[in-house]
C-alpha cells in the first residue's frame, strides 16, 4: 500500500521515518515529492493541513489519517474530500498534555503568577490572596478525550469541576451539563472556563460577548480548542471592561499570530504558540500504522471522524 505523508516541513521527515519504522511493509512517500503518475497509485494519506491539491491529485484514497486530534482543517473551504474514512489520533499521552496545560493555565491566574511576573520585573514585593482550589469553579467545554482527562486532573487537584458536552456525559466528581439547556447554568458557575471543543459550525464563535456576559464577574477564559471558537474583539472588550480577569490562549484565528496583533501586548493575556498538546510521534505512528493496516486488510479503523457531526 502506498501512503502519502503531508506534514509541516520541520517534522515531515520525522513522521515519514517513524511511520516507515512502525509499518515497514507499507510504502511512505512525502508530499509534494509525488509525480503525477504515482499519485494515482496512492491509497492513503497521512496529513496535517495538507493542501487541496493533494486530494485533487491522489484520486484513489481509501483513508485519510490526521496527525492530531482536531480535524476541522479537512472541512475548510476549497478542500474536496473523497468519501473515505477519516481517522484521528486519540492518545492518552496527548490528553494528559492537554490536562496539564489547563491546570497550569488556571494556576497562572489563581495563584497570581500573572501579577508576580510583572511585580518581579518592577521589583515590587506585594502579596496577593489567592483562592483555594476547592473554592474555584472550573468549567470544561467539551468532554471528549481532551476534556475528560482535563476534568479528571482538575478533580484530583481539588477544584469544583463542571463539564459541558453535546450529549450528557457522566464523570466522577464532575457536574455534567449538556446542550443548549445546559449552557446558561454551566456558564453561571465558571470562574475558569476552558474551551476544549472541536471546531464545527455549532461551536464557531462560541466564546463571544453573550457567553462572557453569562460568566461570573472576573472569570478567566482558556482557549486550547481552535482560534475560531473565540471572537477576538469581544475578548478584548470584555478584558478591557474588567468583565473578565484574564485569558490564556493557545490557538488563534491566524497562526502564527501576526506580530502586530493586540494580544501580544495585552497585560491580561497569556499566550502560547499552539503547544497545549502537541501530537506525540512515538504513540502516533503506532496508531496510524494500525489504522492503515486495517484499511489495507479491508477493515474499519477505530477513532473515526463522524462527518455529519463535524468531529
Binding residues for ligand OXD (CB under 6 A) = 68-70, 277, 279
Cβ proximity to ligand OXD: between 110 and 165 the closer is: 165
- Contacts of residue 19, defined as CB under 8 A and 6 or more positions apart, other chains included, come to 3, 5, 26, 28, 46, 285, 288, 289
- Of residues 42, 145, 193, 248, which one binds ligand NDP by CB under 6 A? 145
- What is the grid cell recorded at 273? 504558540
198 binds ligand NDP (CB under 6 A): yes
Residue 73 found at the interface with ligand NDP (CB under 6 A): no
Of the candidates 185, 131, 188, the one whose C-alpha atom is nearest the C-alpha of residue 158 is 131
Q: How far is the CB of 282 from ligand NDP (least distance, A)?
A: 16
- d(CA 255, CA 73) in angstroms, rounded, equals 13
What residues from 264 to 303 belong to the interface with ligand NDP (CB under 6 A)?
274, 276-277
Angstrom distances, CA of residue 63 to CA of 114, 197, 199, 256: 45, 24, 21, 29
Q: For residue 152, state whether it binds ligand NDP (rule: CB under 6 A).
A: no
Q: CA distances (Å), 309 to each of 82, 200, 203, in order?
A: 17, 8, 11
Q: 175 contacts which partner out of ligand OXD, ligand NDP, none, CB within 5 to 8 A by kind?
A: none
Residue closer to ligand NDP, measured from CB, 146 or 221: 146
Separation between Cα atoms, residue 109 and residue 249, nearest integer Å: 13
- What CA–CA distance (Å, rounded) separates 308 from 88? 15
C-beta of 1: minimal distance to ligand OXD in Å? 24
Is the Cβ of residue 143 or residue 269 nearer to ligand NDP in the bound state? 143
Nearest to 251 by CA among 97, 14, 70: 70
254 binds, among ligand OXD, ligand NDP, none (CB under 5 to 8 A by kind): none
Residue 129 annotated to the active site = no
The yes-or-no answer on residue 60 being catalytic is no
Q: Which residue, among 107, 105, 89, has the nearest Cα to 146 in the 3D structure?
A: 89
**Among ligand NDP, ligand OXD, none, partner that 198 touches (CB below 5 to 8 angstroms by kind):** ligand NDP
DSSP state letters, 33-84: ---HHHHTTEEEEEESS--HHHHHH-TT-SEEEESSS--GGGGSTT----SS
User: Which H or E run includes 3?
Assistant: strand 2-6
Task: Pick the stretch among 131-139, 161-169, 184-192, 291-299 that binds ligand NDP (CB under 6 A).
Answer: 161-169
Which partner in ligand NDP, ligand OXD, none is near 266 (CB below 5 to 8 A by kind)?
none
Q: Which of 16, 57, 226, 243 binds ligand NDP (CB under 6 A)?
A: 226
The residue range among 38-46, 114-122, 193-201, 207-215 that interacts with ligand NDP, by the rule CB under 6 A, is 193-201
Of the residues 268, 274, 293, 307, only one is catalytic, namely: 274
Residue 203 makes contact with ligand NDP by CB under 6 A: yes
Which runs of consecutive H residues, i.e. helices, occur in the chain?
9-22, 36-39, 52-57, 92-110, 113-122, 145-156, 179-188, 209-214, 232-240, 281-296
- Kindly state whether residue 253 participates in binding ligand NDP, applying the rule CB under 6 A: no
Q: Strand, helix or coil at 11?
A: helix
Alpha-carbon distance of 161 to 301, in angstroms, equals: 33
Residue closer to ligand OXD (CB basis): 211 or 279: 279
Least distance between ligand NDP and beta carbon 160 (Å)? 20
Contacts with ligand NDP, residue ranges (CB under 6 A): 68-70, 98, 142-147, 164-167, 169, 196-200, 202-203, 224-226, 250-251, 274, 276-277, 311
Q: Annotated active-site positions, please?
A: 226, 274
Amino acid at each position: 500500500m502506498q501512503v502519502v505523508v503531508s506534514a509541516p516541513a520541520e517534522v515531515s521527515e520525522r513522521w515519514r521515518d517513524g511511520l516507515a519504522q512502525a509499518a515497514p511493509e507499507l510504502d511512505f512517500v512525502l508530499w509534494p515529492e509525488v509525480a503525477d503518475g504515482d499519485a494515482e497509485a496512492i491509497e492513503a494519506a497521512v496529513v496535517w493541513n495538507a493542501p487541496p491539491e493533494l486530494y485533487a491529485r491522489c484520486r484513489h484514497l481509501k483513508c485519510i489519517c490526521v496527525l492530531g486530534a482536531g480535524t476541522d482543517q479537512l472541512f475548510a473551504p476549497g478542500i474536496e474530500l473523497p468519501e473515505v474514512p477519516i481517522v484521528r489520533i486519540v492518545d492518552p499521552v496527548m490528553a494528559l498534555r492537554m490536562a496539564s496545560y489547563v491546570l497550569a493555565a488556571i494556576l497562572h491566574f489563581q495563584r497570581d503568577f500573572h501579577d508576580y511576573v510583572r511585580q518581579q520585573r518592577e521589583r515590587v514585593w506585594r502579596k496577593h490572596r489567592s483562592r483555594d482550589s476547592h473554592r474555584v469553579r472550573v468549567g470544561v467545554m467539551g468532554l471528549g478525550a481532551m476534556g475528560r482527562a482535563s476534568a479528571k486532573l482538575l478533580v484530583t487537584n481539588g477544584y469544583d469541576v463542571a463539564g459541558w458536552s453535546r450529549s450528557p456525559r457522566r464523570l466522577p466528581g464532575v457536574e455534567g451539563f449538556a446542550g443548549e439547556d445546559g449552557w446558561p447554568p454551566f456558564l453561571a458557575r465558571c470562574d475558569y472556563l476552558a474551551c476544549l471543543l472541536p471546531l464545527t459550525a455549532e461551536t464557531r464563535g462560541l466564546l463571544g460577548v453573550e457567553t462572557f456576559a453569562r460568566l461570573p464577574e472576573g472569570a478567566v477564559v482558556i482557549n486550547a480548542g481552535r482560534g475560531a471558537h473565540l471572537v477576538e474583539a469581544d475578548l478584548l472588550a470584555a478584558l478591557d471592561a474588567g468583565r473578565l480577569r484574564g485569558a490564556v490562549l493557545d490557538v488563534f484565528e491566524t497562526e502564527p499570530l501576526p506580530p502586530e496583533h493586540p494580544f501580544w501586548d495585552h497585560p491580561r493575556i497569556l499566550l502560547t504558540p499552539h503547544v497545549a498538546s502537541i501530537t506525540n510521534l512515538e504513540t502516533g505512528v503506532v496508531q496510524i500504522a494500525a489504522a492503515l493496516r486495517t484499511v489495507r486488510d479491508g477493515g474499519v479503523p477505530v477513532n473515526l471522524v463522524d462527518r455529519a457531526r463535524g468531529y
